[in-house]
Structures are given as C-alpha cells and as structure tokens.
Amino acid sequence: DTEVTQTPKHLVMGMTNKKSLKCEQHMGHRAMYWYKQKAKKPPELMFVYSYEKLSINESVPSRFSPECPNSSLLNLHLHALQPEDSALYLCASKREGFWNEQFFGPGTRLTVL
Amino acid sequence: TQLLEQSPQFLSIQEGENLTVYCNSSSVFSSLQWYRQEPGEGPVLLVTVVTGGEVKKLKRLTFQFGDARKDSSLHITAAQPGDTGLYLCAGGNSGNTPLVFGKGTRLSVIA
C-alpha cells in the first residue's frame, strides 16, 4: 500500500479565516513533507518532518503552521492567507532506507479570496 | 545548488509516435525519480533509478540513468492518449534532503 490521503480535496477561504489541511499515511514512513505547487510549476518544498520533529522549514511565512501529531498524521494550519497563497498543496511521505522515493497525496486545491 | 534541466518543456504528438524526455544536471544524484502528474492531482511515482547505467522498463516506458548519475531519460514507445500528463524528474540524495525537481515536461498525446 503506497497511499497518502489528504483532506479536504478543495478549500476556499477568506483572508481572515483559519483552516487546516490534513494528511495521513499508514505505510510506517517516518518522514513527511508539505509542498506547494503553482500552476505549470514543479512542487516547491515547504516543510519536512522527520520522526515527528520539524527538520526543514524552507523560510515559509508564519501564516503557514505545520504540525505532526503522530507518525501517521501531518497537518498544515492556515491563518491570514493572501490570494497569492492559492495553489495545490501536496503532502508526501518517504520510507527509510529507500533512497529518496517520496509518495505524494492527491493534494488540496486551495483558493484564497 | 543542484539543478535539473528537463527538456522539452512541452510536447504534443500523435498517438502511436515515440518520444524521449531528458533530465540533465551537472551534479551527481544518489537516485533519480520520475513522476507523472495529471491536472489537479498529486504526482505519481513511476520509477526510481539508483545505479549508473541502469535501465528500467514499465510497459511502454523505458527509463535510463546515466553512467555518471547526472542525467536520465524517459522514452515512451507508441504513445497513447492515456500517457498525457506532466512528467517530472526529481533528483534525490541521502537522508531527508529535499528532492530537486526538474521543471517538468507537459505531454499531450492526440488520438
């Protein structure tokens, strides 16, 4: 099973709203990632969690707040976003000892009004 | 900074034609992943190559890793409309270091 699930599939929010994106995997992977992807561009790394600890933050604005409650779950809390934050948000996970094979979820299409 | 140059950026071909997508770098990677992504969906891992000179086949798709592990190619034989999508190559190194993505090749196969 190489499935990563993400909810919701689509999200529309205003600039004053607070919302959260959720990601789940049950493959026993201990590294999980958040990416942002704009149209016609490759994914851009935002955060990396390794063994439930934040290991990489690619200078992401504080209006994005990641959380890893346990080894299977990854959240991305959103607050006071801007319209330019509208994008496809992808979660991925990686298994130990298998090079850098990352398995992506289907993504959340976020629109900020 | 490691970079991956992917070419061509766009490709529109007729059903049944063959095509090759290239992924080149001046840097060595421990592994090279190829993904296919459809609009509004996440990238799906097609293959990982890790050994210089390695060739892997997935039905009509043939993937090759260069001898020096700096470049890779994806060859599709007898393309079908179902092959349409964005193909991404991504170079990997050890640990949790970020993948380095190419800019992608947008393939359109016309019936």
> For B48-96, how does the pLDDT look when each residue is reduced to its tens digit (9 = 90+)?
999 999 999 999 999 999 999 999 999 999 999 999 999 999 998 877 7
Q: Is B35's CB within 8 Å of A104's CB?
A: yes
As a whole-number percent, the residues of chain A with pLDDT over 90 amount to: 88
Phi (first) and psi of residue B81, to 5 degrees: -55, -30
Q: How far is B107 from chain A (nearest CA, A)?
A: 12
Say if residues A35 and A45 touch (Cβ distance below 8 Å). yes
A109–chain B Cβ distance below 8 A for any pair: yes
Q: Work out the angle at residue B19's Cα, subtended by the Cα atoms of residues B13 and B25, and round it to the nearest 5 degrees.
A: 125
pLDDT at A2 over 90: no
Q: Is A104's CB within 8 Å of B33's CB?
A: no
Q: Which of B86, B99, B103, B105 to mutate to test the interface with A (most CBs of A within 10 A)?
A: B99
- The mean pLDDT of B6-24, rounded to a whole number, is 97
Rg over alpha carbons for chain B, rounded to the nearest Å, is: 13
The residue with tokens 């800019």 is B103
pLDDT for B93 equals 86
A112–chain B Cβ distance below 8 A for any pair: no
| Distance between CA atoms of residues A12 and B96, nearest Å | 32
- B102 vs A contacts (CB less than 8 Å): 42
| Distance between CA atoms of residues A12 and A113, nearest Å | 7
A3–chain B Cβ distance below 8 A for any pair: no
pLDDT in tens, A81-107: 999 999 999 999 998 776 778 999 999
Closest CA to A28 of A87, A103, A80, A90: A103
Say if residues B2 and B27 touch (Cβ distance below 8 Å). yes
